[in-house]
Each structure stands twice: as structure tokens, then as C-alpha cells.
A and B are shown apart, each in its own frame.
Chain A
Amino acid sequence: MTTRLRRFRRAAREEAERLEEPVREAAALARKLGLDPYPVNYWVVDYDEMNQLIAYGGFQRRYPHWRWGMTYDRQQKQDQFGMGKAFEIVNNDDPSHAFLQESNTLADQKAVITHVEAHADFFRNNEWFSRFSGDNDLDAAAMLERHAETIQRYVDDSDIDREAVERFVDAVTCLEDTIDQHRPLSADPDTGRTQPEDLRERLDGMDLSAAVREAVFDDEWLDGLAEAEAAAADLDHPRSDVLGFLREHATVYDEEAGEAVEMESWQKDVLDLLRREAYYFAPQKMTKTMNEGWAAFWESLMMGEERFAGEDEFLTYADHQSRVLGSPGMNPYKLGKELWEYVENTTNRREVADKLLRVEGITWRNFHDAVDFERVQSLLEPPAAIDTVRSDTLDDLAALPEDDPRVDWEALDRALSDPDAVDIDRYPWKVLTYEGLAERHFSLLKPQYCGFLRRIRRSELEQLSRYMFDDEKYASVEEAIDDVDKTAGWNRMREVRRSHNDVTFVDAFLSPEFVEENHYFTYEYTRATGDFRVASTDHADVKKKLLLQFTNFGKPTIAVFDDNFENRGELLLGHRYNGIMLDIGEARDVLERIHELWGRPVNLMTIRKEFDEHEVEVARRRNREPEPTEAGVRIRYDGDSFDEFELEPELEERIQASDVDYDTKPEEWLS
């Protein structure tokens, strides 16, 4: 056992030494490209350690729970049967920690390192992430470790039943996505309620005779009033941070006593910790596509175009990349990367068009005729000295004017005076600046985008020129192109990376061309044939369906509508219905667990689509889709059994979101 460990450790150490230079240089290159990553600590781990880290979400210590064991088990089997191996995992922390699989080839390792640097940049600069820590230091590993210790302590505590802790964690985990992820954790939890004063208390103080009280303010009337007021006070402001609400107001169900009792301090503590973790992990779920796309974009630029992969590694890398980007289905790497490329290209195109429209004689009306696109293309080409940087071409760079912003003069001086200090043939980017690199990699010059400028729409040109005052700034196309800011695309990408999340990102940048080129389509279930069928290939529909899958982590939105429903202390949750039904079976299972956290009966309002069996049969025979009826229901669980009630119309109205429609079924379905 010890020898085996030592051998592994030696292998890991050797691997670590081999990676020192790529790690250093990748971080430097990333910064040159305008990225601003957290410092990253890299660790080389073997496959088993990797599986463990994956199970723990990228950290070395988490609180005890069987769920990690389950993920580990799954990961291990996946690994074993060759169904997918993890190359790396990186966590959102300052500094970030990245773990590399020991058995990766050097090309894989380099790819992974460049990928990780981009993730670390994203973690640091995306606002959704910075909301969690605010101005405080983000020390995620330490936080999670503290949580682990605390919960472990409760598990080990002989006064607390181990199973009870586990069950409590289970119950809270079921709700980990029902938080208000758009508000920072540190903000005041929006969980308070303004309880209307019960008139009874005032009457008590008024010293009325019993006879008057009974005649004027009988109990029925008082109850009715209190109920109406409580309902009015509470229903106008549903809280989506269900976990936070429970933390503030919940009691728990005590099986022995058979009633609701105060939460014990360990329970409050565990609920707090788990809620904090839910908020910590939420940004990663909210930006998965953007973040993976971002990492894939910069990885590809560094590895491929900036040749961070050595000549001999390039094929291995190309294979690695095609496996990651090529897997079918909705692949966040591919979707994200292409959206980023779209942001880059459209910004660059706009920049070039903006300059061209300022040339005398070019207007949005004659743009496509007046502009010689091939000439523009060749004018955009970087000068040879920037385009080709080798140790034997450095003199060409040196010949550029001394204030040329594209050259890193300091590095160039060093390279010229001591050729051994800077390995220019390996790292040509070292003698260039951000501007120089942006020019080298200007996207409109890439062969796959050479027609992109020409394809600009008239409407966009018109919009650009609408408020353009100095539209005769340049006498010639040369002058105009000379003024093009080649960093525009990358600058814009960094702005987008700062403020967007997956929902806004897809909404803003998913283009019709993208949907078409990638043969995306939506599918829906049809009851006529009992299977899933292609429903639409229209880009607006595809976007709609994608947005459904990104909004609120792709989960239905549930909020607390009342914590004193019908004045009986019952919890009333509402599913904000957007046309897509809940999985009611699962929802009932969740209610059972919420009951444990609430202690009293819990209610869920939702809307169910019901199909008449006979109509389905008729529809089936006639090959058309049956029309569902939408029925508002309130499902109540009292700790023992479920009841279902018809939903009062005014409540039904409150959970209906009638302005959205995620259904993409065609009118003439299957006909």
C-alpha cells in the first residue's frame, strides 16, 4: 500500500514538474489576451482522487451525506466503463483550485490549463459570482470545510439522531433550487410578513361588556375579518426564497409529539449552511453555458490559433476538442462557444461598418455596392511583422514606429538582447500587446467568417447611420480601415461576460443563422402517437424552449404565498404556472419533505393539464392532438395523507403567468 502510494506520488510530482512551464505561460498568455483570472493553484491527481473531487463538486471536503457517495459511485462506473473521463475540475475560489488528471496527455493538460484560466477569469469577473461574496474575501474551500465540520459534529453528537440529521439534510436539499438566486445572499432576506393586528386584541383592551362584544363582534365575524386581512396582507407579495422563508419562520414536525415544535438550534444551523451553499453554487448553474463557452473559446484561441499546443501536440488537441464540442444534444460547450463567436463577429462587423459609413460617398443605401469587400478584407490584414512572429523576424517588429501600441517593447528588447531568455518561436505572443494579439486574431479575417461582413443587413446599417454626424470623416476606405479598433470584439465580450447570465445571454445572442446551421429543433410530446416528435424548427421557437431550460435553473418557480393559510398556520406554496405543468408525483414527494420542515400542513397551488381519456382516444384515431383542460388545484399534505382541492379562481389567477407560452406545437400537428 505504501509503495503504491509513493509510486503514485512520484508520478504526480513528475507530472507537476512537467506542467510548471505550461501553467506559468498560460496564465501570462491569458492576461495578455485581456483576461483577469483569479490566481489558480493546480493539483495533479489520480483517477480516483478525481472521481472524489467530482463527487464533492470540486472541493476536498464537504459535509457528510450519502448523495456524494452516489455521485462518486456513478462517476466511478462511468470511468470504469469508459463512458466519459473527466480531464479536470476547477472550483470557484480565490485563489481557484484546479485539479488535473495525472493520466492526461501533455496536449490534454495544456488544453485543460488554458480552459481553467478562462474559467477563473469568469468566476472573478462575472457579476453573478461576485454577488455571493460581495466585498468580502471569497474563501469557498474554507467555508465548505467549516460547514463539513459543523455538520459532522452534529452527526457525531450522541444527543442527536444521525438519521435525523440525514433526513433533515435530505429535506433541505430538495429545496436547494427554490431560492431567490437573483438577490445576493447578504441582502436582507425578503422573508418578513406584515401581520395585521388582530382586532380581538384591541377589543380586549377596550373593556367592552361581554354582551356588546357578542352582539357586535361575534367570533364568526372576527374570524372572517382576520382571515380576510391576513389573506390580503400576505398574498400580494410571494417570496421565492423558500429556503430563507423556512429559516425565518419554520417549525419542524415532531413525530413523537405529533405536532409542530420549534426548530432545534442544530436544525437552524444546518438550514443556514445549506442555504448558503445553495447561493454559492447558484451562479455556476446560472451561467453554465456562458462559462463553458467562454472557456472553450479562449482555450481554442490559445491552443489552436496562438499555438500553445506544440506542433506535435496539435492533432491530439484537435481530437480532444472535437470530442468535447462534438457530443450531440444541447452541448453547453458548443452552444456557448458559438454564441461568444457571434458576439465577437457582430461587434467587429459593426466596428468596421461604422468606420466605412464615415467614408465620403458611402451610405447605408449604397453600402453593398460601394464597398469593395475583398479590398477591405486585405486592408484589414495585419502587417507581416505582427502576423508572423519568429525569432528571425524580430527585426521587422523592431522596425515599427516606437510608439506602436501593438508591440510589447520591453519584451522585445529583452528578446533581442538575450535570445535565450525569451523562447520566441514557442511563445511569439510575448513580444506583442493586447492590441497586437487582437489584430493577429481579428475574427473577420478567419476563413470561416470571410463573408460575414458582406452579409450585414441593410437594417443594421441604417440603424448605425441614423445618429451618425461626422459621416464624411474619411476621404478613403484606407483611412477608415486604418482607424478600425481591432480590439472591439474582445472588449465587448468582456463586457457581456461581466453582466450576463445564461438566460440573458441566449436571449440576446442566439441568432436565426445559428439555429439553422446547427439543425436545432424543438420537440414536444404528442398524445396522438404517444411519443416525442419534432415540433418546430423556427428559431424563435427554439429560443423559447432554450429559455425555458435556462430560466430558474430549468425548474418551475415555486414561491411562498402564505404562511398562515386559512388562519390555521398552514404553509401555502404556489407554482408560478407558465404553461408547463409540474411533475406532480415529484412535487408530492417534495411536499412530504417540506412538511418535515414546516411542522404543519403544507399546500401547493398549481395548474394541471387534464386530458379526457375518451377525447385522447378520439384524437388518436383522428391523428390530432387532444386539447387539455387547465384545472387549478391545491394539493394539501398534512403529514399523513394528501388531499386535493379545486383552486379558488382568484388564487388561480395569481399563479397564472398568461403572457408566456413555451408550447411550440404547430397548429396543424401531424396532419
Chain B
Amino acid sequence: MGKRVLLIEDEPNIIEAISFILSRDGWAVATHSNGHDAVDVVEEAKPDLLILDVMLPGKSGFEILRHLRENYGPQDLPVMMLTARGQLKDREMAEKAGVNRFMTKPFSNAEMLEAVRELVAS
């Protein structure tokens, strides 16, 4: 069984594509598609890496990350944020919330894989 990645994203076709890429690379991928209960899902799944979209129904990725950092501690869970909002203020907000990697859409599959490997290895 490979390392566990939890992907929280609300666009079904992006979920399918990322799940496929990561699964092929040996990761065990779990997915979730809304922000309402995302924190509970993370706490239950205990992933080795969290990939988190920013704009989610119910609760934003920033809010979820802030909540997780308050409970997990800043270093425990590597988090990669995906967003179509690449502005400086969004990056700053993500860094302030405790993100490990900020990836702007659209990204390539190779970039995504490389980032995931790096985050878990470190």
C-alpha cells in the first residue's frame, strides 16, 4: 500500500484526472468534494499529504487549512493548495494559513507529480 493522499476538489473531471495520475504512481488516493465537512474527513482519513482546492462549496480551502493547522500543528501534515486565483494576495493568504506548496491552475501532470513526491519526501 502506497502513501495516502487525500484530494479535496469539487470539479469531478479534475478529481478523476489527478486520482488517475497519482494512482498510477503508486499513491493510495482518497477524494472528497466539499468544504462543509472537509476537516472531519481529513482527521478521519489521516493522509500523508493533503491536496486542497481553494474554492470549495461550504468552506474555503483557506478556512480548512487554518483550522487544520490549529489542531495538527504547523508541520504535521504537508498541504498543497490548488487554485485558479494566482494573485500575490492569495499566495500570501495561503502562506499565512500554513500551506507547504501553492499550485496555480492550470498545471501540468508532471508538475503535480513532482510536487507531491517532493512534499512527502521532505
Do A and B pair up? The answer is: no
Residues of A within 8 A of B (CB): none
The chain B residues found within 8 Å of chain A, CB to CB, are none
